[in-house]
Structure 1
Amino acid sequence: MNICVFLSAADLDERYTTPAREFAELLGKGGHTLVWGGSDVGLMKVVADGVQAAGGRLVGVSVEFLRGKARAGADEMIVAADLAERKAQLLARSDAVVIMVGGTGTLDEATEILELKKHGLHAKPVVLLNTAGFYDGLREQFLRMDAEGFLPLPLTELVFFAEDGAGALAYLEETAGIR
């Protein structure tokens, strides 16, 4: 399976990097391909290193202004002209999406992917990996949106919240054929 992972390029605390390494190892050992932002820094590097070390493939989609941070050892590297093209390429090249911890860029990617799914423009499974409760507040907001009628489909059809990498991957492997 080609699994797009949206995540931070920042150097982060072990409470985020350790679970990220564990998830990356599961992806690689499962024979999956990581489709990611292509950067060889921060958490992006941690996950790419883990997937590659465990035997998985790497497909990066960098962007022109970050070309200098792109991973040299990826199996495939695409350089998009801008962030919009990058997001479109990431989605087009993946069978499923996992959203890990990140900042405004990751949040932008997450909301766009969910908006596209809401409108039926893709039916790929989407997982929010809630490492160390990072997305607890966002989950509360989504539950409120669902309860108050802001979502045209049930939240459970839009996104799955996983507490750990094993749960995220199990969900993806169960639902990958149901698209």
Structure 2
Amino acid sequence: MNICAFLSAADLDARYTRPAREFAELLGKGGHTLVWGGSESGLMKVVADGVQEAGGRLVGVSVDFLAAKARTNADEMVIAGDLAERKALLLAKSDAVVIMVGGTGTLDEATEILELKKHGKHTKPVVLLNVAGFYDGLKEQFRRMEAEGFLPMPLAELVFFAEDGVGALAYLEESAGVR
């Protein structure tokens, strides 16, 4: 399965890097392909290293103004002209999406993917990996949106919240019919 991960390129402490590395190793050992922003820095590097070292494939989609930071030993690397094209390519090359910890770029990617799903533009499973409670506030906001009628579908059909990589991957594989 090609699993797109949206995540930070920042250097983060162990409460985020350790679970990200564990998830990456699960992907690689499971024979999955990581589709990601292609960066050779921060959490993106941690996850790419973990997937590759565990036997998985890497498909990167960088963007022209970040191309100098792109990983050079990915199985495939595409350079998009802008961020909109990058997001479209990431989604097109994936079977499922995992949103890991990140900043405004990750949040932008997450909301676009969820908006596209809400409007039926894709049906791929989406997981918010809520490591160390990072997305607790967002989870509560989504629940409020659902309760107050802002979501045209049940929250559970839009996104799955996983507390760890094992739960995230189990949900994705079950959704895709992978054993």
- Does the alignment reach a TM-score above 0.5? yes
Query: For the residues of structure 1 that align with 2:67 and 2:164, how far apart are their CA atoms?
Result: 31
**1:176 Cα offset (Å):** 1.1
Q: Which residue of 1 aligns with 2:29?
A: 29
Matched, 1:46 2:46: yes
Matched, 1:128 2:128: yes
Q: Which residue of 1 aligns with 2:8?
A: 8
Q: Which residue of 2 aligns with 1:17?
A: 17
Extract unaligned runs of 5+ from structure 1.
none
Query: For the residues of structure 1 that align with 2:147 and 2:177, how far apart are their CA atoms?
Result: 29
**1:177 Cα offset (Å):** 3.7
Aligned-pair identity in percent equals 85
Letter aligned with residue 94 of structure 2: S
Instruction: Return the TM-score normalized by structure 1.
Output: 0.99
Q: Which residue of 2 aligns with 1:79?
A: 79
Q: Which residue of 2 aligns with 1:157?
A: 157
Q: Which residue of 2 aligns with 1:60?
A: 60
Query: For the residues of structure 2 that align with 1:21 and 1:177, how far apart are their CA atoms?
Result: 24
Instruction: Return the TM-score normalized by structure 2.
Output: 0.99
SS in 2 for 1:16: helix
Q: Which residue of 2 aligns with 1:95?
A: 95
Aligned residue-pair number? 178
Within 5 Å, which residues of 2 pair with 1:100-115?
A: 100-115=100-115
Deviation >2 Å, runs of 4+: none
1:52-105 per-residue CA deviation (whole Å, 9 max, x = no partner) reads 000000000000000000000100000000000000000000000000000000
Query: For the residues of structure 1 that align with 2:66 and 2:173, how far apart are their CA atoms?
Result: 32
Query: For the residues of structure 2 that align with 1:93 and 1:176, how far apart are their CA atoms?
Result: 15
Query: For the residues of structure 1 that align with 2:21 and 2:95, how far apart are their CA atoms?
Result: 21
Query: For the residues of structure 2 that align with 1:136 and 1:47, how far apart are their CA atoms?
Result: 22
Extract unaligned runs of 5+ from structure 2.
none
Query: For the residues of structure 1 that align with 2:58 and 2:173, how far apart are their CA atoms?
Result: 19
| Backbone CA RMSD of aligned residues | 0.8
